Amino acid sequence: MAAGQGFWGDDLEAPIRQVNGGRIDYLMLDYLAEVTMSIMRKQMSRDPRAGYARDFVPLMERVFPACVERGIRVVTNAGGVNPLECARAVADAGRRAGAGGRARIGVVTGDDLMERLDELLAAGHSLDHMETGRPLAEVRDRVRSANVYLGARPIVAALARRATVVVTGRSTDTALAYGPLAWEFGWARDAWDPLASGVVAGHVAECGAQASGGNCSAEWWSIPDLAAVGFPIIEANPDGSFVVTKHPGSGGMVNLRTVKEQILYELGDPSSYITPDVVADFTTIRLSEEGRDRVGVHGVRGRPPTPFLKVSVACSAGYRAVGTLVYAWPDAAAKARAAARILRERLDRLGLTYERVLVELVGWDATHGHLVGEPPPDLPEVQLRVGVRGRDRASVERFTREVAPLVLTGPPSVTGFAGGRPRVQEIVAYWPALIDRRAVEPGVAVEVVEV
Amino acid sequence: MAEVRLVELAHARSGDKGDTANVGLIVYEEMDYPLILKMVTPNRVKKHFKDMVKGPVERFRLDNLHAVNFLLHGALDGGGTVSLMTDAQGKVFSTALLRMKIEVPDEVAERVRGRGRHPGAGAGDSL
C-alpha cells in the first residue's frame, strides 16, 4: 500500500511516483484536515458541484490506466462534503483516460450530519465540545458543517463491491489504510490486534513523506535527495505486522528515527489511540530495522472501540486579520515594538476593541517566544507581525487600514509593505464532539458509480 | 555535572490537536532514555515554557520507542484557524523544547557535545 498525499495541497507528483516506481496494490490519499470540511462546504454553497478535493480528479485521469491494467485500487477521502459529485467527476476522468466500462467507483456517504443536526440535537445528542464541555446549542446558528468520522467498514463494503476507487467524505485518515487491509486479509470486526496494527500503518502513512525523511529533526542535513522524496510504502502481512519502506531509488530515507517521529506526530495518550473500529495501544509497538530503508512494525495490541464516534463541527467564530512590516538595522526590534505600541494606541483612540491582539517579531521571537530572551540591538532586520481577531467585522476591517500608515507616521527604516492591505478572514472554529454511534451508523451507505 | 541542551540528546516532532500542542521527544541513544525520564518532567517542561503554555503539561511514556510524548494544553491561542500565532499548528514547539537545558554527568556531556546541530552551525550557542 502506497501513501500518495499527506494533505490537500501536498506534492502533486507524489502519487504518480508511487504508482510508477514499483509494484503496489493500493494507493491511499488523505486530503482532509480539521477545518477542510468547512472550506469545502463554503465552496459547495457557491457551486453545488464543488465541495471536494478537485486535485484528485486530474490525478485520477493520469493514474486510471495503471489502475485498470495493474489492478491498483485507490482509497481516498477526497470526497469532502460532496463525495457523490467527486465520484461523478472521477468517473468522467476515467472515461477520458480510456477506463470506460472497466472500473467502478465506490462512494461512502452518511458522514454529513448537517441536514440532521436539529433532529439530532432535539433527540438529546447535545454534541458537547470535547475540551470545554459546552453544548453545541450555544452556537447552533453559527454551525457551518458537521461531519462524523467514519471508519473502515464502509470502505471494506465498497471494496467488496469491486470498487477500483473508493471515495469517502469525512473518514478517519487511518481508515484509508486499515480499511483496505481489513478487506484484503478478511479481518473480522473483533480482530483487535491486526486492526490496531493497521491503525499504526495508517498513522505512519497518512502524512506522506513525514515518515520517509521529510520534516525530520534528526540530523536533517543527512537525509538524501528530498527533491525526489519517496513517500511511504506499507508492506502488510495478514497478521497485521508490516514493513515501512519506499520505492527503490527514491529520495529521503526510512529508518527508526523517521518512523518514530511520525508515530509521535499529533499523538495524545499513546495507550489509547481511539478510532471508530478499534482502540490501538501505541505503547505496544515494536520496531525493528530490517535493512536499508526498511522498518518492521509488529506486536501492536488493540481493544474494542468506544460506543461513540467523533464529530467534527465547524462554526463561524468572528474575523481575523494579520498585518506585517519589516524593520531594518539599527535597533530593528526596538523600532518594530515602538510601531506596535503606536498602532495599539491608534486603535484604542478609535475605540476599537478586539478579543485578541497578538504582536510577534518574526526573525526573533515569533516561534520560540521568551525562550530566546531579548533581541540584540544589532539584529539586522525583523518583521513586525500584528494579528487581531474579534466578532465585529468592521473593527477588523479598520485594523487592516491602520498598518500601512505606520510607514510614513512611525519609526524609520521600514519596508516590506508591498503586499498591500491585510485581508479580513472569517474564522471557522473547530468544535470536536462525540455522538452515540447508533445515531449515525444506520445512515452510512455505499453507492457504486460505473466508469 | 555539566549542562547540555536537549537537542544534543534527542530529536522531536510536534503538532496540534485543538488548542493543545504535542511534542514527541525521542532519544538518539537508548542509554540516555532514563536520563530524559528523570530530568524532563512535566514540571520542568512547564517551567521551561512558562506562559507559552497556559494550561497543564502532561507526559506519557513510550518505553518501547525510548520516547516521551508531552501534551502542552492551551499553547496555541485557541488553535487551528482561531489562533493568530505564526505557529498556530504547534509545528515548532518541538525545537522550542529541544532548547531546554538539563544537568547531566560530565561523560554524557562529553559524548553528546555538538550533536543535533548542522555541522556548519559552528560553536555559537549564545541564544
In a structure prediction context, what are the per-residue pLDDT tens digits for chain A, which is 451 residues long? 999 998 888 999 999 999 999 999 999 999 998 778 888 988 998 999 999 999 999 999 999 999 999 999 999 999 999 999 999 999 999 999 999 999 999 999 999 999 999 999 999 999 999 989 999 999 999 999 999 999 999 999 999 999 999 999 999 999 999 999 999 999 999 999 999 999 999 999 999 999 999 999 999 999 999 999 999 999 999 999 999 999 999 999 999 999 999 999 999 999 999 999 999 999 999 999 999 999 999 999 999 999 999 999 999 999 999 999 999 999 999 999 999 999 999 999 999 999 999 999 999 999 999 999 999 989 999 999 999 999 999 999 999 999 999 999 999 999 998 788 999 999 989 899 999 999 999 999 999 999 9
Interface test with B, best of A42, A217, A384, A427 (most B CBs within 10 A): A217
Question: Which residue among A215, A286, A429 places its CB closest to the CB of B64?
Answer: A286
Q: How far is B32 from chain A (nearest CA, A)?
A: 15
Question: Which residue among A261, A356, A360 places its CB closest to the CB of B13?
Answer: A261
The number of C-beta contacts closer than 8 angstroms across A and B is 136
- The verdict on A265 touching B (C-beta cutoff 8 Å) is yes
A425 to chain B: closest CA residue: B81
**pTM of this structure:** 0.96
Which residues in chain A are closer than 8 Å to B50, comparing Cβ atoms? 370
Interface test with B, best of A265, A267, A271, A400 (most B CBs within 10 A): A267
Show the cell assigned to B66. Answer: 525510548
Nearest-angstrom CA–CA distance, A436 and A417: 51
A317 to chain B: closest CA residue: B82
Nearest-angstrom CA–CA distance, A82 and A79: 6
Nearest-angstrom CA–CA distance, A335 and A254: 46
Cβ-Cβ contacts under 8 Å for B76 (sequence gap 6 or more): B16, B18, B19, B20, B21, B83, B85, B87, B88, B89, B90
Nearest-angstrom CA–CA distance, A259 and B24: 12
- Across the interface, whether the CB atoms of B95 and A368 are under 8 A apart is answered yes
Q: What is the ipTM of this complex?
A: 0.96
Cβ-Cβ contacts under 8 Å for A289 (sequence gap 6 or more): A255, A256, A295, A296
